[in-house]
Amino acid sequence: MAGLYHDFIAVTEQEINEYVNSLQINIETFQKNKISIHIHDDFIQIMLSARYLISVPCYDYKNKEEISGLCTIGCTVFRVNQLNLFYEKIELFEREIDISPEIIKGMEIFKRKKENVLESVNKLKSFILSAQKNNLCIYHFGV
């Protein structure tokens, strides 16, 4: 599958604090020896268009403020105390995949089969659980 991707990397709170003031955050800096996943932009756009990521609290490192919703271009930080709600939104999306007109429309627009979308859902859920288990934050690099 070609196209744009989002990277999610599990990092410590200390690492976030060290890099959060840098305007030139290099993804390779974080990916070395880190737990990370690669998620296609189509999946993120389906979730956004269906409004499942709008109310997820996170941290906008550039503007140094708490926000709601994922920054699709640029970076977003999900601190440890924000991961439960992030996980719950992904679970809600999964439960409603067959009944939500917004999700169904999004899958049609982006020409994604349910199986492919569920694969991304499971990948993201497992990643969030792994970060929680290890008391790590999630650093998101948008497209």
Domains of the chain and CATH, by start: 5-22+31-141 (3.40.1760.10)
What pLDDT is recorded for position 36? 85
Average pLDDT over residues 73-80: 84
**17 φ, ψ (degrees, to nearest 5):** -65, -35
For 104, counting Cβ atoms within 10 Å of its Cβ (0-12 exposed, 13-18 middle, 19+ buried), the class is: middle
Residues 45-60, mean pLDDT to the nearest whole number: 82
Average pLDDT of the chain, as a whole number: 84
Q: What is the pLDDT of residue 23?
A: 44
Q: Model confidence at 1, in pLDDT bands (50, 70, 90)? A: very low
Task: Give percent of the chain with pLDDT exceeding 90.
Answer: 49
Given this model, what pLDDT does residue 26 score? Answer: 59
Tell me: the pLDDT tens digits for 80-138?
A: 999 999 999 999 999 999 999 999 999 999 999 999 999 999 999 999 999 999 999 99
Residue 124 or 60, more confident:
124
pLDDT for res 33: 57
When pLDDT is averaged across residues 15-43 and rounded to a whole number, the result is 71
- Please tell me the pTM assigned to this model: 0.86
Helix (H) or strand (E) holding 123: helix 114-133
Helix spans in 10-113 (H):
13-19, 27-31, 41-49, 83-95, 101-109
